[in-house]
Amino acid sequence: MTRTNRLSALWVAFGAVLLTSVPSTRAPADEKEKPAKDLDRTPVDCVQVSSISRKTAIDSKTILFSMKGNKFFRVDLPGACPALTPGETQLIFIYDNRSGKLARLCSHDSFGVYHRPGSGCELAKFNPVTPDEATQLLATSAGK
């Protein structure tokens, strides 16, 4: 089976599951948000798929991942992904899901945009951002 056929099969398999995003939720009020100066800015290679509550394209080179627990990651893609438009949320990820709930989405994985065949692009490292920075990024995508 060619790589293209395998990717197409994975897109179909994951498409139904990833089509809907879980609405983002705020952390409980008693859980204090870390100030920007206390946020560990070290980029991470992978995030747990089950922890992703929403993903939003900011532009053709940037995706914001909203995670459970009021955490956010900005991914600056290695190159422009022409299929991405600001505000796009129907992203389909290609990753190894053999570990079930512990499945991870990593910087070497790829993604596409639902209903846009041939829109595959590669991810990059996940850069932690504050909730305020995430809000600013989302406002930027809404204004485009």
Domain range for 87 is 3-21+41-142
Q: CB within 8 A of 77, min separation 6: which ones?
A: 60, 61, 62, 63, 121, 122, 123, 124
Establish if 33 belongs to a structural domain: no
Does residue 114 sit within a domain?
A: yes
Q: Against a cut of 0.95, is the pTM above it?
A: no
- pLDDT tens for each residue of 43-99: 999 999 999 999 999 999 999 999 999 999 999 999 998 888 899 888 888 887 776
**Structural domain contains residue 35:** no
69: in domain: yes
The answer for residues whose C-beta is within 8 angstroms of residue 126's C-beta and 6 or more apart is 43, 44, 45, 46, 47, 65, 73, 74, 75, 107
- Total domains in the chain come to 1
